[in-house]
Amino acid sequence: MTIQKLFLTFFGAGLSPKAPGTVGTLASLPVGIAIIYYFGTETLFMFTLAITVIGIFEVNKYEQATGIHDHQQIVIDEAAGMWLSLMIAYSTGTAMNYPYAEILAIIFSFAAFRLFDIWKPSTIGWIDREFKGGLGVMLDDVLAGIAGGLLSALLLMGIGKLF
Residue-wise pLDDT tens digits, 102-138: 999 999 999 999 999 999 999 999 999 999 999 999 9
The pLDDT value recorded for residue 117 is 96
d(Cα 142, Cα 49) in Å, to the nearest integer? 10
- In 3D, which of 133, 126, 105 has the Cα closest to residue 37? 105
pLDDT band per the 50, 70, 90 thresholds, residue 38: very high
pLDDT band per the 50, 70, 90 thresholds, residue 69: confident
Domain extents for the chain?
3-162
61 neighbors 55 (Cβ within 8 angstroms): no
d(Cα 158, Cα 12) in Å, to the nearest integer? 37
DSSP string, 26-71: HHHHHHHHHHHHHH-HHHHHHHHHHHHHHHHHHHHHHHHHH--SS-
Q: What is this structure's pTM?
A: 0.96
Q: Which amino acid appears at position 122 of this protein?
A: S
